[in-house]
Amino acid sequence: MSTLTTLAAETSTSTGEAVQFWILAPLAVLGGLGTLLLRRAVHSALCLAGTMVLLALFYLANGAYFLGVVQIVVYTGAVMMLFLFVLMLVGVSAADSFKETLAGQRWLAAACGLGLGLLLIAGIGQASTGSFTGLAEANGGGNVEGLASLLFTRYVVAFEVTGVLLTIAALGATLLTHRERVERNKTQREQAEERVRSGVQLPPLPAPGVYARHNGVDIPGLLPDGTPSELTVNPTLRGRGQVREVHGQALADLAALEQRTSAYQGRPSPAGPAPRGTALGGAAAPGDGAVSTDAEEARK
Amino acid sequence: MNPQNYLYLAALLFTLGASGVLLRRNAIVVFMCIELMLNAANLALVTFSRMHGNLDGQIMAFFVMVVAAAEVVVGLAIIVMVYRSRHSASVDDASLMKL
């Protein structure tokens, strides 16, 4: 700590600090550019978190030890996690659209940003910041102690007001995100009656096709004629287009299995290996392997 | 190294944040760019504190952090609320009052 204090206290920066700056500053700018340019909001958030950690290192190098630690705890620990939680709520894949609502707004905005940057850098270049005191005296009794003595004497009113502000913010956030339920929850009986009245699908939906070779719920179940049924897959997966196809190979395997079973049991083999609803004629076909095996099982 | 370089870095980061607010459409990314601008201002305040040899700049940066935390809480709550009612986090979609 004492070496660090003297390091930040010198009137000109040391070589070590220069090396640190020239390594970390380009990385920080890269992080800022990533926040600005990456299309996915999650990638932007990660870039911003990296930039904030680098800024914490700059604070430490500048003798602001308390702020450096607070930066990591508050910004990368709390604020960025809050951002990530909201991204999770709003949808991780929410990418920007390239559609422009105002014609030429993008180029105008880029020009404005460039102008602002030039103005700021020229302003800093013009300002005479020749003399440079360093924090040796101010940090003499310790950085945290110095901050505390200022915070609880000269800035005590502002400190109290920020406390009130934080309380109001917490209240406001809970109030904003709270949702009052305007209608009563439907009871189970009411739901059942509604279902009967609509008459679309009375029993539960059919199960997905968890045949012997797959146990994924994204494989549709097969109808008796061999065609996959979309109804058997969860509507969320259907909406995302993540329904997996049933391979022709799997269907052929199934037909072969049926044939072998019927041969083993000495029954006439099913009409043929063609699975896709050509000759089998659905569940009514008397020689249908799967159905008759089930019936045999039931008899035993 | 001249400690003015920290100020140049702060100016660059502030510019990136400001351009992001103007360029991006996703409300959450716009909000993150605002955070980047606040952080850049904090870096400038800390550097000024070192240049002038007193801790008032660090106190200011501390207050900026507190206010930013409060702002993030309320702003994200508003974004979640807007998303619930319009199913979009794009700032272009919230154009109900446009003529």
Any CB–CB contact under 8 A between B15 and chain A? yes
- Per-domain residue ranges for chain A? 1-93, 145-175, 207-291
As given in the structure block, the two tokens for residue A73 are 């705890």
Helix (H) or strand (E) holding A142: none
Closest-CA distance, B38 to chain A, in angstroms, reads 11
In this structure, are residues B1 and A73 in contact, taking their beta carbons and an 8 Å threshold? Answer: no
User: DSSP class of residue A72?
Assistant: I
Q: Is the pLDDT of residue A133 over 80?
A: no
In this structure, are residues B48 and B57 in contact, taking their beta carbons and an 8 Å threshold? Answer: yes
pLDDT value for A288: 39
Q: How many residues does chain A have?
A: 300
Model confidence band, residue A295 (pLDDT cutoffs 50, 70, 90): very low
Residue linked to tokens 């920080």: A28
Helix (H) or strand (E) holding A222: strand A221-222
pLDDT tens per residue across span B45-70: 999 998 888 899 999 999 999 999 99
Helix (H) or strand (E) holding A228: strand A228-229
pLDDT tens per residue across span A204-255: 887 777 654 566 777 787 777 777 777 888 777 777 777 777 767 777 777 8
Please report the domains of chain B, with CATH numbers, ordered by start residue: 4-86 (1.10.287.3510)
pLDDT value for A138: 78
The one-letter amino acid at A266: G
Which residues of chain B lie closer than 8 angstroms to A22, CB-CB?
1
Q: Lowest mean pLDDT of A9-23, A149-163, B76-90, name the range.
A: A9-23
Distances (CA, A) of A253 to A19, A211, A260, B36, B43: 67, 11, 10, 59, 67
Residue A90: is it exposed, middle or buried by C-beta count within 10 angstroms (0-12/13-18/19+)? Answer: buried
pLDDT tens per residue across span A47-65: 999 999 999 999 999 889 9
The one-letter amino acid at A272: G
As given in the structure block, the two tokens for residue A10 are 């010198």
Using the CB atoms, write b or e for A44-65: b if 16+ within 10 Å: bbbbbbbbbbbbbbbbbbbbbb
Closest-CA distance, A173 to chain B, in angstroms, reads 5
Q: Do A8 and B9 touch (CB under 8 A)?
A: no
Q: Lowest mean pLDDT of A101-110, A137-146, A249-258, name the range.
A: A249-258
CA–centroid distance for A213 within its chain: 32
In this structure, are residues A197 and A217 in contact, taking their beta carbons and an 8 Å threshold? Answer: no
In this structure, are residues A52 and A75 in contact, taking their beta carbons and an 8 Å threshold? Answer: yes
- Those residues whose C-beta lies under 8 Å from the C-beta of residue A274, and which sit 6 or more positions away, are A255, A280
For A95, phi and psi rounded to 5 degrees? -100, 155
Helix (H) or strand (E) holding A185: none
DSSP string, A17-36: HHHHHHHHHHHHHHHHHHHH
pLDDT tens per residue across span A172-197: 999 988 888 888 888 999 988 988 99
- Those residues whose C-beta lies under 8 Å from the C-beta of residue A216, and which sit 6 or more positions away, are A208, A210, A244
- Rounded Cα distance between B3 and A273, Å, is 81
Any CB–CB contact under 8 A between A235 and chain B? no
Q: What's the predicted TM-score (pTM) here?
A: 0.72
Average pLDDT score over chain B:
90
Closest-CA residue of B relative to A178 is B81
User: DSSP class of residue B90?
Assistant: B
Any CB–CB contact under 8 A between B60 and chain A? no
Distances (CA, A) of A31 to A38, A237, B38: 10, 35, 15
Instruction: Identify which of B5, B17, B28 has the shortest CB distance to residue A86.
Output: B28
Give, in degrees to the nearest 5, the angle at Cα A62 between A56 and A65: 60
pLDDT value for A169: 94
Closest-CA distance, B96 to chain A, in angstroms, reads 14
The matching CATH number, chosen from 3.40.50.2300, 3.10.20.740, 1.20.120.1200, 3.40.640.10, for A1-93 is: 1.20.120.1200
In this structure, are residues A8 and A61 in contact, taking their beta carbons and an 8 Å threshold? Answer: yes
Q: Do A138 and B4 touch (CB under 8 A)?
A: no
Q: Is the pLDDT of residue B79 over 80?
A: yes
